[in-house]
Structure 1
Amino acid sequence: MGTLPSCLMSFSENLSVLNVRMNMIQGVIPRKFAEDSKLRTIDFSRNRFEGTLPPSLLRCENLEVLDLGNNRIEDTFPDWLGTLPKLQVLVLRSNMFHGFVSNSREARSFSELRIFDLSNNNLSGPLPVRYIMKLTAMMNQDKRRGKLKYMGDANYQDSIMVTMKGLEIQLVKILTVFTSIDLSSNHFGGELPMDIGNLKSLKGLNFSHNNLTGYIPSSIGNLIELEWLDLSLNKFTGRIPQELANLTSLAFLNLSENQLIGHIPQGWQFNTFENNSFAGNPRLCGFPLLETCANSSREIPPVIILQANNMEHGGWFEWKAILMGYGCGTVAGVSLGYIVLGSRKFEWLTGLLERKGANMRKKWRRNARRSYQR
């Protein structure tokens, strides 16, 4: 409660962490940070700070984490923060940042940034493609898989609030390999660039609730580490790229409320998504939607598809079938998942079923005659 004393900033040359989150602090952020600030983490989130950001933040050259989320800060996008050489986490979510985010060639580099969250503000104009394409820390997969560690040090480990897989989650520790971009709930327009496929270490991407147009780039299929993708409530058109079905780590997908058309890709994780991942696209069709596609008489879930394995002697195949409803010796129904594996194999399968049916009918007639004679 109350305001943050300005004199506190004079101690920043000796502090490495300044965390005052969730204290209902009001007023502006103190204007003067110390010249030789040692601050590594500044967490002012979930307070009532207002006004603009002080340019003296640039004195914090060791700053790795800046979390100003859930305040009342009213300012334009602070592109000058891109000059901080060690900044890895920038969270400005749920404030009143407004105006365009520069797309000029002079856009500042946030080369070390791993978490970039501008969600739930009033930012507008074209999607800041030039900033996104300078996030080089998200372009290279971390090769130190066996040495995973958390941000922070032995005395303090950073935490952060993120929207992950459609849920708001508090990460009590931040893995150094965790990377995400969240520009949702703004007024950005324009198209997604093909170059977005270069961010190969990206775990989460959320551009929902904007005014984005054009096609979904097939290059998103290159983001092999991606675990959640939310492009809902935009104006995307065209087909869903088949390449997205190659994202085997994708656990959450939301493409709802767009203008997408055509057949929903099948395979891998796409077979696990439910209707609400695609709702609000009237011209989409195929599993898991009830709407079937015009070029197919029937949409069949891929878990009951026949698989062909060509071998030396004409080929062999595996198939799964469910035969239902034997009553009074008559086959009442057959449920069979199938795929056409060539005309000869299909004819063989058809002939097999016909012969089985004929034999059963003969047996039923024989039994009926014997019963009658008795």
Structure 2
Amino acid sequence: MLPFPLARQQTCGLLAAVVQCVDKSWIFHVSLNQLSGTLPSEFGAWRYLSFFHAQYNNLSGSLPPAYCAWMSLDWLDVRDNQLTGTLPPQYSSWSALTIFSAGSNSLRGTLPPTYKNWSALTSFDLSTNNLTGSLPFEYSSLVSLSMFDVSSNNLSGTIPVQYAAWKNIVNVRLDSNSLSGTLPNSLFGGWTFVVDINMRMNRIIGTIPPALLARPALQKLYLGHNMFAGTMPSTIAMSVVLLDLQNNSGLVGTLPFRLMLVTVCGTGVCSTASLPLQYCLPPNAAELTLTQVAPYATTCTPSNEPPQSTATPSAINSTAGNTSSSQQSLARGTRSIGAAVAFA
């Protein structure tokens, strides 16, 4: 069995013309080139293939169902291409698969429930596609998952409570979809190792579950631009450095101040007097830095009622004289933690 490495060679042309008969290869690596054309169904004859890396090219067309014959496949990476079509349910035969990455394409259709058979899977990335339908409850069988990313699609329905079985999950990205319903407290009880959860830009309603904010390893939690309501839970894990709550107009309460950056604009929530400024994410921001949030800072007065409207840039500018000295003081006492900012 031989490897077939051709990564970072600036190779151009059709993929089928570049590759001849390599049916005894176990690694196929052509990432970071300028390859175009479709994925040939004939590649399904590569019986020994374990790693298929074709990311960062200009490949088009659909994912061939014939690839289900790759019974030893461990890692498939075709992200950042121009792939279309639906996800073949036949890929459920990949029982040894650990990493599936097909983000940043134009795939459509639904998430196949048959992928529940990927019992060894640790990383699942289908972000930034055109997928529709709901999150299959059958994926609860993927108990080895550490990363699950289906952000920036058109998914709807609720988040299955069965995902509580993901005992090894570390990173969950469901943002920029149309997910709805409530978040059951029981969903998060077993997520002991989760570090980063992003559910921004959905239609989730109800209260924020206390178990979600109490995850012992949680560092970043994005819940902004949903329809959460009610009083904030009183307990927040000491590990949290970033908490995004903005534009949930029904949320009320007061937050403790620790080493975390909080966005509460468009809510009735305020931090304690230790942090009398509220911070707002720009509408399309995916990460938080002090540079992004400082121009959006405005004073915040604790209230039991949600605000009538979010501060506009002109309103923020009018209060700049009152907040600039506080911002400068905060800026001097900040230190970066990953993509977030923590206040010393």
Q: 1:26 aligns with which of 12, 18, 23?
A: 12
SS at match of 1:40: strand
Q: 1:76 aligns with which of 54, 58, 62?
A: 62
Matches within 5 A, 1:16-95: 16-30=2-16, 33-34=20-21, 37-95=23-81
* Equivalent position of 1:110 in the other structure: 94
* Equivalent position of 2:339 in the other structure: none
Cα distance change on mapping 1:215 and 1:206 into 2, 3 Å: same
* Equivalent position of 1:221 in the other structure: 164
Matches within 5 A, 1:154-303: 179-242=122-185, 243-267=187-211, 268-269=214-215, 272-274=218-220, 277-284=222-229, 286=232, 289=245, 298-299=253-254, 301=256
* % identical aligned pairs: 25
Is the CA contact 2:85–2:108 (under 8 Å) kept in the aligned structure 1? yes
The alignment status of 1:97 with 2:83, answered yes or no, reads: yes
Cα distance change on mapping 1:271 and 1:41 into 2, 3 Å: closer
Is the CA contact 1:266–1:302 (under 8 Å) kept in the aligned structure 2? no
Q: Tell which structure's C-alpha radius of gyration is larger.
A: 1
Provide the alpha-carbon RMSD of the alignment. 2.9
Q: 1:137 aligns with which of 120, 124, 127?
A: 120
TM-score, structure 1 as length reference? 0.59
Cα distance change on mapping 1:244 and 1:301 into 2, 3 Å: farther
**Residues paired across the two proteins, number:** 245
* Equivalent position of 2:305 in the other structure: none
Cα distance change on mapping 1:136 and 1:297 into 2, 3 Å: closer
Is the CA contact 1:293–1:299 (under 8 Å) kept in the aligned structure 2? no
TM-score, structure 2 as length reference? 0.64
* Equivalent position of 1:313 in the other structure: none
Q: What is the deviation of 1:55?
A: 3.0
Which residues of structure 1 form unaligned runs of 5+?
Answer: 1-14, 139-178, 304-323, 325-374
State the distance in 1 between where 2:30 and 2:84 align. Answer: 20
Q: What is the deviation of 1:85?
A: 1.4
One-letter amino acid matched to 1:128: P
State the distance in 1 between where 2:167 and 2:252 align. Answer: 33
Cα distance change on mapping 1:203 and 1:271 into 2, 3 Å: closer
Is the CA contact 2:39–2:62 (under 8 Å) kept in the aligned structure 1? no
Q: What is the deviation of 1:72?
A: 0.4
The alignment status of 1:120 with 2:104, answered yes or no, reads: yes
SS at match of 1:69: coil
Out of 203-212 and 22-31, give the one that drifted further. 22-31
State the distance in 2 between where 1:108 and 1:271 align. Answer: 32
Is the CA contact 2:56–2:81 (under 8 Å) kept in the aligned structure 1? yes
Cα distance change on mapping 1:300 and 1:55 into 2, 3 Å: closer
* Equivalent position of 2:282 in the other structure: none
State the distance in 1 between where 2:248 and 2:52 align. Answer: 48
Q: What is the deviation of 1:94?
A: 0.7
Out of 217-226 and 16-25, give the one that drifted further. 16-25
State the distance in 2 between where 1:33 and 1:71 align. Answer: 18
